[in-house]
């Protein structure tokens, strides 16, 4: 049986640690807010809680128009939504 010297033990420890790190998936960053992933929309005529002074971020895609209230975006920070061309991220 061969005994390892200190430098050989250190090399084995570094190789083992590197191999362990290589197979770890990076942690998803912790955000200070809860993003909205699948927003639900209502017709503008039913948005009685909105006033004329409220700010909106609007997006159009062909004949589809979507409005994201800035007040809700300020609370959640991010809305992940879909358009015909693919996914979008809306932030304020």
The DSSP call for residue 60 is E
pLDDT digits (tens, 9 = 90+) for 3-13: 545 554 444 44
pLDDT of residue 15: 46
Gap between the Cα atoms of 1 and 9, Å rounded: 15
Instruction: Decide which of 50 and 5 is more confident.
Output: 50
pLDDT of residue 2: 54
Residue with tokens 């998936």: 25
Gap between the Cα atoms of 35 and 74, Å rounded: 11
pLDDT, averaged across the chain: 78
pLDDT digits (tens, 9 = 90+) for 26-45: 766 676 778 899 999 999 89
pTM above threshold 0.75:
no
Residue 32: how many CB atoms within 10 A of its CB? 5
């Amino acid at each position: 049986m061969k005994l390892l010297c200190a430098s050989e033990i250190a090399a084995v420890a570094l190789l083992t640690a590197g191999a362990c790190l290589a197979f770890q998936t990076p942690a998803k960053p912790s955000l200070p807010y809860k993003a909205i992933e699948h927003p639900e929309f209502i017709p503008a005529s039913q948005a009685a809680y909105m006033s004329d002074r409220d700010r909106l971020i609007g997006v159009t895609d062909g004949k589809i128009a979507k409005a994201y209230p800035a007040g809700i975006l300020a609370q959640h920070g991010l809305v992940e939504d879909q358009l015909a061309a693919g996914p979008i991220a809306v932030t304020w």
